[in-house]
């Protein structure tokens, strides 16, 4: 199995065997959960972290990440051509008020992603490459009720030894549907940023405050723990100028990245009937 598959199975085993079982007040579902879950994987040496124990939809996380980089917050603007994953979180104006990319590029009065690139171009050894998604004025703490608040709420980027590392901080992760999607998406962002800055992707790290499995996913979790395969590591070969093309919402960029990943991606069968808990 790939390194990421091994990490994933270890998380699932730990949650099912040692996780705290309780009913979540917001969703009404029972969960098993652990606190403070963390992993790191070296993308250059150990492969791109895409789950192969079951098939995940590659086109969705690729298109979503390009939409994020563009800074848009309307699914009709590019994203809906590929997925309706954010449609449950739009307001009557068809706007996702907490769209990650919008928060990275416009919401706080500065282009955080653009400033990050500028910073690391001018000062590659900087340790101040922090991008924030969470808005403390309105998100969480029992404040304004929203359809969604950011789960991955901040990430840091640094360059060490000519390699770009990304550390993603996540307040809450559904380990069956959310976690594999988030990891692949942010690892793709890491590779795109590395290309833009003329370095190679290094270590991807992912820290979760509350890592949980919902009751409706218990059977799927047990199946995933038992699955085995001999999948080889996946290596992404990005087309040139991926970052600038993402900013321009280049539709062909999605196809090119998806084709590259899919040519190496031979996962086990999908698990049918998995439903998102909102």
40-94 pLDDT, tens digit per residue, is 999 999 999 999 999 999 999 999 999 999 999 999 999 999 999 999 999 999 9
Please check the confidence at residue 243 and state whether its pLDDT lies above 90.
Answer: yes
Average model confidence (pLDDT) for the chain?
97
pLDDT given for residue 236 in this prediction = 97
Pairing of strands 152-160, 163-174: antiparallel
Does the pLDDT of residue 146 top 80, yes or no? Answer: no
Q: What is residue 22's predicted lDDT score, i.e. its pLDDT?
A: 97
Long-range contacts of 74-77, Cβ-Cβ distance < 8 Å, separation of 24 or more: 77/249
Which residues carry out catalysis?
151
pLDDT digits (tens, 9 = 90+) for 165-187: 999 999 999 999 999 999 999 99
Please say if the pLDDT value at position 157 is more than 90: yes
The Cβ-side half-sphere exposure at 121, using a 13 Å CA radius, reads 10
Tokens 């993402």 belong to which residue? 246
The answer, yes or no, to whether residue 145 has pLDDT greater than 90, is no
Position 278 confidence tier, pLDDT thresholds 50, 70, 90? confident
Is pLDDT above 90 for 258? yes
Q: Which domains does the chain have, with CATH numbers?
A: 3-262 (3.30.572.10)
**Helices in 112-267 by DSSP H: which ranges?**
112-122, 178-196, 218-226, 242-247, 251-262
Q: What would the DSSP string read from start to end of 35-84?
A: EEEEEEEEHHHH------SS---HHHHHHHHHHHHHT---TTTTGGGT--
**Could you tell me which of 194, 214, 244, 274 has the C-alpha nearest to residue 31?**
214
Element (H, E) at 199: none
pLDDT at 28: 95
pLDDT band at 144 (very low <50, low <70, confident <90, very high): confident
Q: What is the pLDDT of residue 48?
A: 98
pLDDT tens-place string over residues 4-45:
999 999 999 999 999 999 999 999 999 999 999 999 999 999
């Amino acid at each position: 199995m790939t390194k990421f598959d091994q990490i994933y199975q270890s998380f699932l085993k730990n949650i099912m065997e040692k996780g705290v079982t309780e009913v979540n007040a917001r969703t009404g579902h029972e969960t098993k959960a652990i606190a403070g879950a963390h992993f790191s994987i070296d993308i250059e040496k150990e492969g791109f972290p895409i789950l192969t124990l079951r098939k995940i939809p590659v086109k969705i996380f690729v298109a979503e990440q390009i939409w994020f980089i563009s800074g848009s917050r309307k699914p009709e603007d590019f994203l809906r051509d590929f997925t309706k994953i954010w449609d449950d979180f739009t307001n009557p104006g068809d706007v996702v008020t907490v769209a990650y990319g919008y928060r990275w590029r416009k919401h706080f009065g500065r282009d955080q992603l653009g400033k990050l690139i500028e910073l690391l171009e001018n000062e590659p050894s900087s340790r101040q490459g922090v991008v924030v998604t969470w808005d403390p004025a309105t998100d969480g703490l029992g404040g304004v009720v929203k359809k969604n608040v950011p789960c991955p709420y901040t990430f840091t980027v640094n360059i060490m030894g000519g390699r770009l590392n990304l550390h993603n901080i996540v307040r809450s992760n559904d380990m069956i549907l959310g976690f594999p999607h988030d990891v692949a998406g942010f690892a793709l962002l890491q590779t795109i940023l590395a290309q833009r800055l003329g370095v190679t992707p290094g270590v991807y790290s992912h820290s979760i405050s509350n890592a949980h499995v919902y009751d409706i996913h218990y059977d799927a979790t047990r199946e995933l723990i038992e699955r085995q395969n001999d999948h080889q590591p996946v290596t992404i070969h990005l087309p040139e100028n991926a970052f600038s093309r993402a900013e321009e919402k280049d539709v062909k960029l999605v196809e090119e990245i998806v084709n590259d990943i899919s040519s190496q991606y031979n996962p086990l069968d999908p698990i049918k009937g998995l439903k998102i808990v909102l």
